[in-house]
């Protein structure tokens, strides 16, 4: 995706219709600022709609705040999904936003961020202002303050810890920035706290509907790592490694937010404040919460093959993973074997080489952390039944991550990422693209060598070669990874139907 292809602010008539109808599909795609009140809102704000003559639309909260507007305390813009396609793909703005999410501007100048995305500082600032209405520093600052606002409203964390969690080096700086931006002290949001009273820290993670949570959980459940993850019909749980390797690990649960609100419920146990923003960002990527289903469906619905799949499953998202190394190991194990067989091998690796959690951990089914690259770099994987070539590929990847030959850095383009990975012995194009899809959440990753895709991708039922499949998939750019999920799901449904038919025909 090139910078010129990035979406602009929706047309004024679209924004007007969306805010008047409170259309949640546009949540986070624009913000409504009201000139008479000095407040900016989400399209879904339940407050009475202001007159059109008093409304100004902005593409990003930072743009509204730079113009002097404050966030609405009723609809709470900090809960909006992020900017959809602006955070996906290889465009300069998308890659820079991912780096900002990772804290690239917390302790480094804009010039360094610009170098990491291969552009000049002035050009990067211009791109941000053109597409988001605010410079990178404004986006970074607004992001920190809105996350702090969510923590102040939804948790009982001390304000000092909230300042740390939202990236401020001191309480004094946090108080000053909050007061300058919002005209009130952080403690003023605590007058009527909505925080939950139990031991878990609970946060709301919004998305744009439709969202197929059962389908997402089914995908993750089939590929889950026993002891590291527990995936049920209604929730996802996993253990979280401690930052320092010495303190106790934590754990989390993700489920639907009660009442049908378009959001997921995140419950965190024993997570240090300094990791909260990182954890939220990981989960937003993992569950693809910032996707823009309207844009994706609009692009893919022109395909005769994809149109019926989109209509049958409108809320399909791209399931990513919590940790890149976990996904890479899982991808190597899955080469040319079934999903279930790869899961069995992954379970053995985790149980044998992963660090056990304390006996009083408090999360049934979670027993150990997945092993780190250090733990597997020289591990004897043959003892758990892993074939020699595949065991060496796992060790090679672990060593390559340790010495920097490969990584999961968000500024990598898809081509650069794949080229680095296929240079490793035992890593082919299918594995590299699968890792890009599931570890990075890259929307255009496409494992064309996948046999299931080759069997179901054509309109006429013909089995395609990898080269033919890539040609067909060119029409699905820049959302090819979403077609992979749709097609895998269709292939699984066909296989299930065939098995059912075979059982029926075999019954006397």
Residues belonging to the active site: 41, 450
Alpha carbon of residue 398 to chain centroid: 23
Strands (E), 151-244: 201-206, 229-231, 235-240
Write out the two tokens for 234: 């209604």
Cβ neighbours, 10 Å, residue 6: 21
Neighbours of 50 (CB within 10 A): 18
User: Is 218 exposed, middle or buried, given 0-12, 13-18 or 19+ CB atoms closer than 10 A?
Assistant: middle
Phi, psi of 45 (to 5 degrees): -60, 130
Q: Mapping DSSP to helix (H, G, I), strand (E, B) and coil, where does residue 32 land?
A: strand
Can you read off the two tokens belonging to residue 281?
């960002």
- 449 and 336 in contact (C-beta within 8 Å)? no
Regarding beta strands 70-71 and 201-206, do their DSSP bridges make them parallel or antiparallel, or are they unpaired? unpaired
Using the structure block, give the residue that is written with the tokens 């009140």: 37
Strand partners, 237: 230, 253
First to last CA, the chain: 56
Token pair 């001390």 is found at 158
Which tokens hold the place of 280?
A: 């939220």
């Amino acid at each position: 995706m090139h910078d010129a292809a990035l979406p602009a602010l929706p047309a004024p008539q679209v924004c007007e219709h969306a805010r008047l109808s409170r259309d949640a599909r546009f949540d986070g795609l624009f913000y409504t600022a009201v000139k008479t009140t000095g407040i900016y809102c989400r399209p879904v704000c339940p407050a009475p709609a202001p007159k059109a003559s008093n409304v100004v639309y902005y593409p990003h909260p930072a743009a509204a705040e730079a113009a002097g507007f404050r966030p609405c305390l009723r609809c709470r813009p900090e809960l909006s999904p992020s900017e959809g396609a602006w955070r996906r793909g290889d465009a300069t703005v998308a890659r820079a936003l991912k780096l900002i999410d990772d804290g690239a501007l917390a302790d480094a100048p804009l010039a360094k961020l610009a170098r990491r995305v291969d552009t000049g500082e002035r050009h990067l600032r211009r791109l941000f202002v053109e597409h988001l209405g605010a410079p990178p520093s404004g986006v970074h600052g607004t992001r920190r303050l809105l996350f702090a606002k969510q923590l102040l409203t939804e948790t009982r964390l001390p304000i000092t810890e909230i300042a740390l969690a939202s990236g401020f080096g001191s309480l004094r700086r946090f108080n000053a920035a909050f007061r300058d931006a919002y005209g009130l002290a952080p403690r003023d949001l605590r007058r009527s706290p909505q925080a939950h009273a139990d031991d878990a820290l609970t946060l709301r993670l919004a998305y744009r509907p439709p969202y197929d949570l059962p389908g997402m959980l089914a995908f993750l459940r089939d590929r889950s790592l026993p002891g590291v993850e527990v995936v049920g019909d209604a929730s996802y749980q996993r253990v979280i490694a401690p930052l320092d390797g010495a303190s106790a690990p934590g754990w989390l649960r993700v489920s639907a937010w009660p009442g049908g609100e378009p959001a997921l419920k995140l419950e965190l146990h024993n997570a240090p404040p300094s990791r909260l923003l990182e954890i939220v960002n990981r989960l937003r990527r993992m569950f693809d919460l910032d996707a823009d289903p309207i844009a994706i469906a609009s692009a893919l619905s022109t395909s005769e093959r994809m149109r019926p799949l989109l209509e049958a499953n409108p809320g399909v998202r791209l399931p990513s993973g919590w940790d890149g190394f976990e996904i890479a190991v899982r991808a190597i194990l899955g080469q040319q074997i079934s999903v279930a067989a790869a899961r069995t091998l992954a379970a053995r690796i985790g149980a044998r080489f992963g660090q056990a959690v304390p006996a009083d951990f408090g999360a049934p089914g979670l027993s150990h952390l997945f092993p780190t690259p250090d733990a597997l770099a020289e591990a004897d994987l043959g003892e758990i039944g892993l074939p020699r070539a595949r065991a060496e590929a796992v060790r090679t990847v672990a060593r390559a991550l340790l010495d920097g030959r490969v990584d999961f850095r968000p500024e990598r383009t898809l081509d650069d990422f794949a080229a680095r990975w296929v240079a490793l012995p035992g890593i082919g194009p299918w594995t590299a693209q699968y890792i890009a899809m599931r570890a990075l959440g890259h929307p255009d990753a496409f494992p064309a060598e996948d046999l299931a895709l080759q069997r179901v991708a054509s309109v006429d039922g013909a089995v395609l070669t990898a080269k033919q499949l890539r040609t067909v998939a060119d029409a699905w750019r820049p959302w090819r990874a979403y077609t992979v999920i749709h097609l895998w799901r269709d292939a699984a449904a066909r296989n299930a139907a065939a098995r059912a038919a075979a059982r029926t025909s075999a019954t006397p």
